[in-house]
Structure 1
Amino acid sequence: MKAVQDKTNFQSPASTILKPVPTRKRMQRLRERHLNTKPTASIDRLRIETRVMKETEGEPMPIRRAKVFAAVCKDMPVEIWPGELIIGHAGARPLCRDVIPDDCPLLLKGKRMESLMVDTIEYGLKDFDPADQKELITEIVTYWRGSGDWERSHTGCNMRALPEHLKDLLLLDTSTFPPKQSMIYTPFFISGGHYGHNSIDYPLVLEKGLLGIKAKAEAKLASVGREDGSRPFLEGAVLALGAAAEAGKRFAAKTRELAEKEEDPVRRNELMDIAAICERVPANPARTFHEALQSIFLTQVLLNWESPNILSQTTGRIDQYLLRYFETDLQQGALTEEKAQELLDCYLIKLNHVNRGNHLAVGGYKADGRDATNALSYMLIESMKRVRLAHPFISVLLHSRTPEKLLIKAAELSALGTGHPVYLNAEILTTQMLVRGSMGGAPVTLDLARTATPVGCYEPVIMGRDSGYMYGGYFNLAAVCELVLTNGYSRKYAKKIGPETGDPRRFDSFGVFKEAYLAQLRHMMQNFSAATDIFERVLADLLPTPFESSLIKDCIARGKSREDGGARFNFRTVIGAGSSDAGDSLTAIRKLVFEEKKITMDDVCRALETDFEGHEDIRSMLCAAPKFGNDDDYADEQVAWVSHMFAREVSRQKNTRGGHAVPMGAPLQYYMFGGWVVGALPSGRKAWQPLSDAWSPCTGNAVNGPTAILRSMGKVDHAELTAGVTLNLRLDPSIFRHREGISRFVDFIRGFADQGVFQVQLNIVATETLRRAQNDPENYRDLVVKVAGYSAYFTQLAKPLQDGIIARTEHRI
């Protein structure tokens, strides 16, 4: 394999106007090692889990899961790379995928693609050594399969709990395992664990240490009776916290072992220092900046050991809660800014070795409403400029008093063409959290709303008090439109999946059409919510997380896991897709059928049934109708209406944990998959094509430039979409060929916030660069792009996703 050097074929236009980013040799070596390490898969953790689950049959599930976690903490392999200053890794090895029980059916069938959201790994049975293959087939698979239908696996339990009428809507074929989903109704079903998307109370870990939190759990346990229903969780929490506190000592022992063999005295001293740090944290309170970084990283490793397929367990606004350690060390002369910068560089590289989707945020508000920007805000952006990897995600929380200096620093990072950072409107984010608190469940106070942190793509949570976005799934707003036109019939699956809302040819007004759309949407949402309620209960019963839950306020006090409603705030996400397809379709129907009467509804229906074959004139008229993204009130009104109705119906859905659902507009890769099941639409879109990318205009429809797109997006009520909404834009990188381009870019970023838009994420890479990377992937392995809320290496994306990114309009500002 060809080594990836720090200087690659991908050169951003910023290289002509920005000073070279200083890169220490240590960071460069670690970066190169990361890029040149091939991802692998391991059954080490699955072996441990299977053994302990066999041994604990009949015990309460929280205790069984705690015992699995304790055994993993004791027996998981530990590895340290040369030169590391922050150590640890989530899998059996760095960049290793821990196989989970729900992988087994697919392993037996052959290879599968598993996205790490950092690196993509393809693996199957033959990729394991013969002894592991035999153990998988004769022992591990036998246990999880049980008497049939993988009855002990998460997916198997979901299948058994789902009533037949919901299986018929959600699944294509229940005779296969795992079953294929219809992609019209797409709740998170086949997961084998947690959707994650949360941020535990890292400041509490730093202040009290895991042993301090364990003492609190022990005190609560001592206060409840032997028959109290909370005892199993509390006993599991005590066991899990004790095991986690000991895990740091294993890393310390491994580091001392390496130190004894190390010939370089400088590195030997570094290893001994790291050993002393790991001996202390995360079991005990952190005292220094280095201890604090290592503590939160090892905590993330432990969270991955408990839930190996967790997504986006985020460290959040670290520029806020690490600041006191940084400032104290500087004042005492124990740390220099240069050393602190190197530690941050090493930390960011290590975030590529734990759960996928880690999201850091800088800037924003303090609890009292003042600007929160500080020295670490700038240093974290500087580290992102040096590291230039897909992870972590980083966002700049923007408001009216954000310093110009921070935006210029962020613009310099954007100019590198890595897709970092995301720009988030902190004022809208604060309002979103307040709206959530008004919809039911625990109220959200203004100080908490201001200090919320983005996780995953950007979804806001309240650190240490939130259950995270458990379950939910993708909701196809374009499919709703098709069901109106077919009276509830799916063209893809040739069956009824929606209610009969009437023959559209007999609709006598545009209002009747919209009423039918709302009826179909409600029906889909009710079924979606019913399925998700079932999956939530299965998750609470089967996969409680005593360790993670102990790091979320109120879980210990309530004696419940986060899965069972122990957290103060309990939400689940419903992710909309195809809003612009639906809105543009409504606009075309309104204009051409009901207002101008140029065509009839029968003309539209016949054209759609044939995917416009023989009806090219009808398609031309539909395509020429006003489209979202051009600052045209006539078109923007319908997308805003679809968005409003989606948000309203989602927010009405309660969950099983005392909270409610929250709407989101970031469908990740689903805009591709969701399009595969939707036929031709009145927007002029042909059958089975990708949907609009998140809440962005449909590809090719926005022709008046990026400012018009922002104005159109501003007509959508972003505060209603309380889990956030994505606007993807591609910008012509030539803006950064001259120094004044930075100022123009900063003005553009200020402008998006002024329009009331929640978020904008940018790909600033030329089309020719993307095409060269597609044809010569080996020389562009570190080319990072924004896909749909998350970052990924362009050359590791499937070709349809690559083509979708290339097809996005390249705008100039």
Structure 2
Amino acid sequence: MGIANRIEKLKSSLFSVEPFVCAERASLVTEAYQKYEHEPVCVKRAKALNHYLTNMGIYVAPGELIVGNQTGAPGGVPVFPETQASWLSTQLDHISERKFHRLDVSDAVKAQLRSILPFWKGKTPLDRGPGLLPEETRAVYDMNPPVISPNLTIKNSAGHVVPNYEMVIRRGFKHILEDAKNRAAELDRTLPESLPAAQFYRAFIIVCDAVMTLAQRYAKECHKLSKMENDPTRASELESMAQICERVPAHPASNFHEAVQSFWFAHLVVMLEGDGLAVSPGRLDQYLYPYYKSDLSNEVTNTDDARELIENLWIKFNQVRQLPDVPPVGQYTAAFTMAQNVIVGGQQSNGKDATNELSYLFLQIERHIRCPQPALSVRLHSRTPEKLIRETVETIRRGGGKPAAFYDDAVIPSLMNNGVTLEDARDYAIVGCVEPTPNGNCFGWTNAAMFNLARCLELSIFRGDQTHSENIEPEKVELPGTFAEFLDSFKKQVAFYVEHMCVILNTWDRIQSELVPLPFLSTMVDGCLACGTDVVKGGAKYNFTGPQGAGIANVADSLAAIKTGVFDEQFISFEALKDALRHDFPDQRIQQYLINKLPKYGNDDDSVDCFAEEIAAHYCNCIRKNKNPRNGCFRPGLYTVAAHVALGKAVGALPDGRKKSEPLADGVSPAHGRDRNGITALAKSASKIDHVLAGNGTNLNPRLHPQLLEDREGRLAFQTFLRALAELKILHAQFNVVTSKELKEAQYDPERYKDLLVRVSGYSAFFVDLNTDLQDDIIARTEHMV
């Protein structure tokens, strides 16, 4: 069988299987929790993981070269009762009826889960966390509609991390385990502070053994299958795969195939330990390259064989899925994305360009495979080779929204602004959608919460007299006599809710560390072994908490509208504006004035861009002064995943002309259709925001007409544009290259367009898998020609 044909069969089988809920993990983990009920929680978690990896079903798919799966059958999605039980019990009968995020659930699985879930009542973070909030903060948490949406980080275990996979590939778990044993032996057990460290090392040793046990099980399975295989070529492959699994990840990888397999075992087990999203491979082109280069030099492999291994890996990324809570989590992470971010290019820790042959190979493979996972990104800087820029543009123009571009000129200073050393900052990767992180040594809680800036503005306008909401607010103030008074009251609203958000997130942080430690992940985050502390308790070298501000463009446009329309031109009184907003613009003349006659962010107009800059800075500075329980700081971001659609439903009509419940603007992008002066003006507006302050990530998300990149001249112009974004100190940009016509046709005839990949907001998904609101949101984005 040819390589291309085999890869196509693997890809076809990936999407031909109906995903289903698998109760195996839930059953085995519950057994372990019951058996080891009186063990320290970190040890209990370690033994539960070991029990699962020792007893879970395993299989090797026909033709695959990399082994390791979430469940014992293709399409299985595991259940994590330790975090999901409280909401799963209410949704179990509806999961198979969903239009989106649908999973098959058999009657047998329902019965099995119903027998398991009662054990977990009152034991999940979601059960325990809200009751720990102070009374005033609990009132803010319970607001409906809310300002703060913080449940992404309490309905799942912690994720959003780039583990140190390079260390695993280079050293192997046997050596890592020996280090832990030595650390444990050196403890002075007479000291009271040594007790948690001793428990941690005990758990650490158990999980190292567990991952090696899983690999040995796959080695035996491959060996068994090789004996049964009639095709001598495939039999030889299976025997070679058995030998690889016997060696890695226990021992250091000695060749490219071993390095890829070692990575996959480590990556997979992180996601079997916890259900946190966005466990990201990071700089895969950097830490696999020495093995690739050595194998090519020694003629152990060739480029075609290496390509097939990486294409296998790309398909494996898409086999990993999570059981989503709908609502509300599914509104923010549509189409089963796991946000496994691979980034290429960038710099070495000494500042030299890091681009290598794998950087180009990964971009080429992305053009071939074209699946939602991994989330592929590229790092650009002033010394990036022109060839990498060309390959990036060539990949972008094929559609799918990949790769996203990240700019070292903004990212590295933003990391250093949060205490990261220059050497570590130069080695950054991207976690999840758009969040920069030090590589292998950081626990950043990067998608900690969504903060609805537009909802804050609404509260400032109405002082709590909106009939559809129960509002908590810092103070009651008379109607503003000047615009400066109004702006000041709005900033007080933001500061008030930020304070309560940080209380909520620190409470979630504490309860996660008490209930859901992650000893296996801790084996691969630098700092944990040395200090004997789990990653969720603060063991990492760097610790952040990263909440996102949403609706910055709507707020900027609205403030410009209030300043100009109410106070400067006096087109409308403040009371009349409130009345128009309360009734969702019954007078179209008022709405059209607000939309068409007043300045809009995204057009390089300082009179409105100044408000985006000012409010973004205010939000970021309110966030940055707070500390988290892991001895780290809060790090703000300005991106929305897909939450701008859901968050828009919580906000009434706004002074920018947006009607009630319509989507908010996406990240630092303009409100849809308001950027009328071209993509260069859009970029210049976005550059006025201080991206260094928003170090947890920003999201600039333009849509391009494919005609723009059809000819060589257009592609060269776009290459120049990509380099210009670095000079503008933009942190991140991503591009959909698709017409409105094609998107509307896909809505009408989804079967014809089932392979249409689009960028949602920080991640890519098949367009037909998105709900209608998200589809409409993508269609509504300005289609730039120049």
TM-score calculated relative to the size of structure 2: 0.94
Match of 1:211 in 2: 174
Do residues 40 (structure 1) and 20 (structure 2) align? yes
CA positional deviation for 1:551: 1.1
Do residues 166 (structure 1) and 137 (structure 2) align? yes
Q: Give the 3 Å change call, closer, same or farther, for CA 278–271 of structure 1 in structure 2.
A: same
Paired residue type of 1:319? D
Structure 2 residue corresponding to 1:500, chosen from 470, 475, 486: 475
Do residues 256 (structure 1) and 223 (structure 2) align? yes
Structure 1 residue corresponding to 2:744, chosen from 755, 771, 774: 771
Contact 1:41 1:123 in 2 (8 A): yes
Contact 1:651 1:662 in 2 (8 A): yes
Residues 738-763 of structure 1 show CA distances to partners (whole Å, capped at 9, x for unaligned) of 23332122122122222221111111
CA positional deviation for 1:792: 1.0
Alpha-carbon distance in structure 1 between the residues aligned to 2:458 and 2:59? 53
Q: Give the 3 Å change call, closer, same or farther, for CA 620–775 of structure 1 in structure 2.
A: closer
Residues 457-516 of structure 1 show CA distances to partners (whole Å, capped at 9, x for unaligned) of 1211112210132662000010111111112455532x2222224133xx2222211111
Match of 2:32 in 1: 52
The 5 Å alignment of 1:525-604 reads 525-604=498-577
Match of 2:113 in 1: 136
Paired residue type of 2:4? R
Paired residue type of 2:431? V
Contact 2:165 2:281 in 1 (8 A): yes
Match of 1:155 in 2: 126
Residues 552-578 of structure 1 show CA distances to partners (whole Å, capped at 9, x for unaligned) of 111111111111111110011111110
Alpha-carbon distance in structure 2 between the residues aligned to 1:450 and 1:435? 13
Alpha-carbon distance in structure 1 between the residues aligned to 2:318 and 2:513? 29
Contact 2:22 2:77 in 1 (8 A): yes
Contact 1:40 1:121 in 2 (8 A): no
Do residues 367 (structure 1) and 349 (structure 2) align? yes
Residues 429-454 of structure 1 show CA distances to partners (whole Å, capped at 9, x for unaligned) of 111111111xxxxxx21111111101
CA positional deviation for 1:772: 1.8
The 5 Å alignment of 1:469-484 reads 469=445, 472-484=448-460
Alpha-carbon distance in structure 2 between the residues aligned to 1:492 and 1:384? 46
Contact 1:300 1:354 in 2 (8 A): no
Alpha-carbon distance in structure 2 between the residues aligned to 1:262 and 1:171? 59
Match of 2:163 in 1: 200
Structure 2 residue corresponding to 1:77, chosen from 57, 64, 71: 57
Do residues 302 (structure 1) and 284 (structure 2) align? no
Alpha-carbon distance in structure 2 between the residues aligned to 1:78 and 1:714? 50
Q: Give the 3 Å change call, closer, same or farther, for CA 90–525 of structure 1 in structure 2.
A: same
CA positional deviation for 1:193: 2.8
Range 742-751 or range 102-111, more displaced: 102-111
Alpha-carbon distance in structure 2 between the residues aligned to 1:114 and 1:314? 29
Contact 2:153 2:508 in 1 (8 A): no
Range 736-745 or range 205-214, more displaced: 736-745
- For residue 702 of structure 2, give the secondary structure of its aligned residue in structure 1: strand
- For residue 251 of structure 1, give the secondary structure of its aligned residue in structure 2: helix
Structure 2 residue corresponding to 1:289, chosen from 235, 251, 256: 256
Alpha-carbon distance in structure 1 between the residues aligned to 2:564 and 2:591? 14
Percent identity of equivalent pairs: 33
Alpha-carbon distance in structure 1 between the residues aligned to 2:45 and 2:150? 25
Alpha-carbon distance in structure 1 between the residues aligned to 2:777 and 2:93? 25
The 5 Å alignment of 1:238-637 reads 238-307=205-274, 309-354=275-320, 356-437=338-419, 444-469=420-445, 472-488=448-464, 491-493=467-469, 495-504=470-479, 507-613=480-586, 615-623=587-595, 624-637=597-610
Alpha-carbon distance in structure 2 between the residues aligned to 1:390 and 1:190? 23
Match of 2:726 in 1: 753
Do residues 231 (structure 1) and 198 (structure 2) align? yes
CA positional deviation for 1:405: 0.8
Paired residue type of 1:508? G
Match of 2:326 in 1: none
CA positional deviation for 1:255: 1.2
Alpha-carbon distance in structure 2 between the residues aligned to 1:644 and 1:573? 15
Alpha-carbon distance in structure 2 between the residues aligned to 1:404 and 1:153? 51
CA positional deviation for 1:723: 1.0
Do residues 701 (structure 1) and 674 (structure 2) align? yes
Paired residue type of 1:28? E
Structure 2 residue corresponding to 1:187, chosen from 133, 150, 158: 150
TM-score calculated relative to the size of structure 1: 0.91
CA positional deviation for 1:156: 0.8
Alpha-carbon distance in structure 2 between the residues aligned to 1:427 and 1:333? 39
Paired residue type of 1:159? P
Contact 1:608 1:681 in 2 (8 A): yes
Residues 114-134 of structure 1 show CA distances to partners (whole Å, capped at 9, x for unaligned) of 999xx964247xx2243x333
Alpha-carbon distance in structure 2 between the residues aligned to 1:634 and 1:516? 20
Contact 1:575 1:664 in 2 (8 A): yes
- For residue 454 of structure 1, give the secondary structure of its aligned residue in structure 2: strand
Alpha-carbon distance in structure 1 between the residues aligned to 2:153 and 2:513? 16
Alpha-carbon distance in structure 2 between the residues aligned to 1:186 and 1:418? 28
Alpha-carbon distance in structure 2 between the residues aligned to 1:395 and 1:185? 29
Contact 1:574 1:663 in 2 (8 A): yes
Match of 2:689 in 1: 716
Match of 1:9 in 2: none
Q: Which runs of 5+ in 1 are unaligned?
A: 1-21, 146-150, 173-180, 438-443
Paired residue type of 2:163? I
Q: Which runs of 5+ in 2 are unaligned?
A: 322-337
Contact 1:482 1:681 in 2 (8 A): yes
Paired residue type of 1:257? K
CA positional deviation for 1:649: 0.9
Range 286-295 or range 593-602, more displaced: 593-602
CA positional deviation for 1:23: 7.3
Alpha-carbon distance in structure 1 between the residues aligned to 2:675 and 2:769? 28
Residues 267-319 of structure 1 show CA distances to partners (whole Å, capped at 9, x for unaligned) of 11111111111111111111101100110011111111111x22111111111
Contact 1:39 1:121 in 2 (8 A): no
Alpha-carbon distance in structure 2 between the residues aligned to 1:237 and 1:337? 38
Match of 2:333 in 1: none
Alpha-carbon distance in structure 2 between the residues aligned to 1:476 and 1:489? 18
Alpha-carbon distance in structure 1 between the residues aligned to 2:572 and 2:663? 26
Contact 1:111 1:122 in 2 (8 A): no
Alpha-carbon distance in structure 2 between the residues aligned to 1:501 and 1:213? 58
Alpha-carbon distance in structure 2 between the residues aligned to 1:557 and 1:120? 44
Paired residue type of 2:740? T
Runs of 4+ off more than 4 Å: 107-116, 488-491
Q: Give the 3 Å change call, closer, same or farther, for CA 471–336 of structure 1 in structure 2.
A: closer
Alpha-carbon distance in structure 1 between the residues aligned to 2:729 and 2:27? 51
Paired residue type of 1:301? L
Alpha-carbon distance in structure 2 between the residues aligned to 1:578 and 1:448? 32
